[in-house]
Amino acid sequence: GIFVLGLPYALLHSGYSGLLLIILAAALCCYTGKILVACLYEENEDGQLIRVRDTYEDIANACCKKLFPKLGGIVVNVTQMMELIMTCILYLVVSGNLLSHSFPSIPVTEKTWSVIAFVTLLPCVFIKTLKIVSKLSQLCSLVHFIIILVVMTYCLTQTHRWSWAKFRLSFEFEDFLVSVGVIIFSYTSQIFLPTLEGNMKNPGEFRCMLNWTHFFACVLKSAFALSTFLTWGEETKEVITDNLPSFLQALANLCLLTKALLSYPLPFFAATEIAFACISGGHHPHYRSPLFALSVRGSLLLLTLLMAMFIPHFALLMGLTGSVTGAAMTFLLPSLFHLKLKWKKLTFLEKCADISVFILGFLCSLAGIVCSIKGLLEIFG
């Protein structure tokens, strides 16, 4: 995701500990992805695993069914919708920003560029299956590799500037939290995993897929962050492509724009699926009429544009939403649900692992709330 381009900036604030965080975050996010999907299954009388739940909401409702049957699902759906909608808005804002910087001679505002980007996303209202989204995501990954290749190739031509003396250990708590946030949220995918696993041709390969994707992501992110930080050191900017010389920045901006537009369909599709489930009250998904489906998708699409145009201090709101909902959906809730649903079948070490991840998720959420409130107070005086 776009957060990868902020990893060098994270190393600027964390040094050697940042590299350890990249590895640790990969392991933890891979683990919570597995236990979340494990909560979709129960053993039958023959000891075979049967998929009895389909969504994150179903898992939450199963955990709360004795006290408040629908409360867990409502909390999860609200949290997911907040994160997904804000992610879609972010891609629109980023697209407008990139178009504005790519064509500075054209007298058009960033908001107008965002509207132009929005027009190219109108076909999203016709997306009905995850198969189409996966093809767009493949193209998105290809564009992302091009960006990384361009940046790393330039860095390898600057090896004479590399110096390990630039590395340090960060002891500034707030600076370190910046690094934690960027690194953790560069791995988050738990919102999509139940839908992804349910749409796989062979769901039995899910755990293997998760292991390999997180392993390669960890290696790639470590190499990318290290080489770029060693190249620019203290001059490292929040988005590393801003450090590139002007002749490469144009290419990088074009690739980033393409990536932002191709990234939009995945969170948008996930948000529409949640909306359909809430509106239909859990009826079979094929029950929808074409006109009804188009209306819901069109409304959500328009909502993301309006919020991108009119929300003040968007970056701060995105930070607040991401810090709180991201940590909760990635660490806190999967471990809590796994403990609740599988307690009798877990070993002592598995229980300790889940409890540790839960505590970590709670601390990340708390830190995100504190830092975001502090930022809000500074902005609004």
3-state SS, one letter per residue, for the chain:
CHHHHHHHHHHHHHEHHHHHHHHHHHHHHHHHHHHHHHCCEEECCCCCEEECCCCHHHHHHHHHCCCCCCHHHHHHHHHHHHHHHHHHHHHHHHHHHHHHHHCCCCCCCHHHHHHHHHHHCHHHHHCCCHHHHHHHHHHHHHHHHHHHHHHHHHHHCCHHHCCHHHCCECCCHHHHHHHHHHHHHCCCCHHHHHHHHHHCCCHHHHHHHHHHHHHHHHHHHHHHHHHHHHHHHHHCCCCHHHHCCHHHHHHHHHHHHHHHHHHCHHHHHHHHHHHHHHHHCCCCHHHCCHHHHHHHHHHHHHHHHHHHHHCCCHHHHHHHHHHHHHHHHHHHHHHHHHHHHHHHHCCHHHHHHHHHHHHHHHHHHHHHHHHHHHHHHHHHC
Residue, of 302 and 378, whose pLDDT is higher: 302
Q: How confident is the model at residue 313 (pLDDT cuts 50, 70, 90)?
A: low
Residue with the larger pLDDT of the pair 116 and 176: 116
% of the chain exceeding 70 in pLDDT: 89
pLDDT band per the 50, 70, 90 thresholds, residue 323: low
Q: Residues 44-61: what's their mean pLDDT?
A: 86
137: confidence class by pLDDT, cuts 50, 70, 90: confident
For residue 312, what pLDDT is reported?
A: 55
> Residue 328's domain is classified under what CATH number?
1.20.1740.10
Check pLDDT > 90 for residue 37: yes
* pLDDT 10s digits, 154-197: 999 999 888 777 676 655 676 677 677 778 777 888 888 998 89
pLDDT band of residue 379 (cuts 50, 70, 90) is low
Residue 355 has pLDDT above 60, yes or no: yes
The pLDDT of residue 324 is above 80: no
Q: For residue 316, is pLDDT > 60?
A: no
Domain limits at 323?
Answer: 2-380
Q: What total number of domains does the chain contain?
A: 1
